Amino acid sequence: MTTKDIGPKGPVVKTGEAVVDYVDDRSGVKTGARWFLFRNIPKGTSWFQTLGFTAMALFGLQAITGIVLAMYYKPDTNTAFRSIEYITDEVTWGWLVRGMHKWGASAMIVVVFLHMGRVFIWGAYKYPRELTWVTGAVLLFMTMFMGLTGYLLVWDQKAYWATVVAVNITASAPILGPYVGDILRAGPEFGPNTLSRFYSIHMLVIPGGIATFIGLHLYFITRLGISEPPWSKRRLRIERDEEDARRRAARERQSLAGRTVVPAGEPAVPARAEVAE
Ligand code: HEM
């Protein structure tokens, strides 16, 4: 404890505390923030578990740089490319913001894949974190779709033809493909409406979806906690206990059915209480 904690409080601190108490009294925000931020994390938590936050930080950066770009970008087939040139060559720091947005998109995709790889290799998708994985999978899909829709906005030859190929591949999928193709193109042909459609999906639909699913993902992470590393002794012990219980249940089923109780050469399973702590 420092003298700051026991000395008289200044008017600014007093007012601040009164405002926080007022809001907390009505919204419970302090309890919520404590639930979200102050939790125990497993022993052995390492840099590997920072990849999810890195993906989230990159999304934040994409949102900020995207807002700046949207102030100058014109989603019209006659002016789109010219507005991109204007941002790059004439807007103060425009080249930097555009570069950050472009490289940030690639970085986000790479980091999301690394994060997913880490989760997969650690087996962190297993019970009880299935829904954390499912919300993550939706985030992966939306992150990739963000890349596709953003690519067209430059409206140069490369962007145009690359998107034509991607949409044609999508449209060739059975049953739903042609409908999805029409939705993406905003009709049967590529044209001005396609650009507006991609712009709206890129600017509004997907960022809204990603923000919503990050919220859900974080809710599950906070509620279920992050998993222990695969080399954690406690985790190995729990997994061994579960395996023992499964085998015991299988033998009981077999003995009830009047068949062999213990397969030859297999050690007798210790009772749960005998398993080393
Ligand atoms: C925009 C994309 C994503 C963001 C912002 C994000 C964010 C996070 C954060 C902050 C964490 C907690 C810290 C950590 O373990 O790194 C986490 C954990 C987790 N994420 Fe993601 N994630 C994303 C994509 C994904 C994807 C693509 C998957 C799998 C398909 C996934 C599945 C999980 C799972 C299962 C956990 C729990 C890991 C554990 O308990 O150890 N996430 N995510």
Report pLDDT digits (tens) over 195-206: 999 999 999 999
Residues 208 and 113 in one domain: yes
Band (275; pLDDT cuts 50, 70, 90): very low
Identify whether residues 141 and 260 lie together within a single domain. Answer: no
Q: Which atom of ligand 1 is nearest to the CA of 224?
A: 40
Total number of domains in the chain: 2
With residue 215 as reference, give the H or E element that holds it. Answer: helix 206-224
| 187 and 159 both lie in a single domain | yes
What contacts 166, CB < 8 A, 6 or more positions away? 148
DSSP for 169-203?
Answer: HHHTSSTTHHHHHHHHHTSSS-SHHHHHHHHHIII
Domain residue limits at 257 = 239-274
Q: How far is the CA of 112 from the centre of ligand 1 (A)?
A: 8
Nearest CA to ligand 1 atom 31: 136
Average pLDDT, stretch 212-240? 93
Residue 134 lies in a domain: yes
The whole-number average pLDDT for the span 232-260 is 88
Same domain, 269 and 246: yes
Is the shortest distance between the CB of 217 and ligand 1 below 6 Å? yes
Given 201, 224, 247, which residue is the final one in a domain?
Answer: 224
pLDDT over 60 (residue 277): no
When mean pLDDT is compared across 114-118, 141-145, 266-270, the lowest value belongs to 266-270
In this prediction, residues 210-216 reach a mean pLDDT of 98
Q: Give the tens place of pLDDT for each residue, 24-58.
A: 999 999 999 999 999 888 988 999 999 999 999 99
Q: Is 167 in the pocket of ligand 1 (CB under 6 A)?
A: no
In this predicted structure, what is the pLDDT of residue 261? 55
* 138 and 268 within one domain: no
User: Among the atoms of ligand 1, which is closest to the Cα of residue 50?
Assistant: 16
Same domain, 126 and 263: no
Residue 86 lies in a domain: yes
Residues 165 and 53 in one domain: yes
The preferred substitution site among 61, 115, 206 for testing ligand 1, maximizing ligand atoms within 8 Å of CB, is 115
CATH of residue 97's domain is 1.20.810.10
Given a cut of 60, whether residue 121 has pLDDT beyond it is yes
Residue 156 lies in a domain: yes
203-231: average pLDDT: 96
Separation of 124 CA from ligand 1 center, angstroms?
9
Claim to verify: residue 183 and residue 265 sit in the same structural domain:
no
Instruction: At 255, give phi and psi (nearest 5°).
Output: -65, -35
Structure tokens at 26: 């009505």
In order of 81, 87, 197, 204, 254, the CA distances from 69 in angstroms are 13, 8, 17, 14, 67
Tell me: do 53 and 121 sit in the same domain.
Answer: yes
For residue 203, the 8-state DSSP code is: I
Q: What CA–CA distance (Å, rounded) separates 184 from 197?
A: 7
- Cα(115) to centroid(ligand 1), Å: 6
- Mean pLDDT taken over the chain: 92
How far apart, in whole angstroms, are the C-alpha atoms of residue 150 and residue 191?
16
Rounded to the nearest angstrom, the distance between the alpha carbon of 225 and the centre of ligand 1 is: 11
pLDDT tens-digit profile of 78-110? 999 999 999 999 999 999 999 999 999 999 999
Ligand 1 contacts CB of residue 120 (under 6 A) = no
Q: Are 138 and 178 in contact (CB under 8 A)?
A: no
> What's the confidence (pLDDT) of residue 91?
98
pLDDT tens-place string over residues 125-183: 999 999 999 999 999 999 999 999 999 999 999 999 999 999 999 999 999 999 999 99
Q: Does residue 51 line the site of ligand 1, with CB under 6 A?
A: yes
| Token pair recorded at residue 234 | 């406690």
Q: Is the CB of 139 under 6 A from ligand 1?
A: yes
Kindly state whether residues 153 and 256 are assigned to the same domain. no
Q: How many CA atoms lie within 13 A of 234 on its CB side?
A: 6
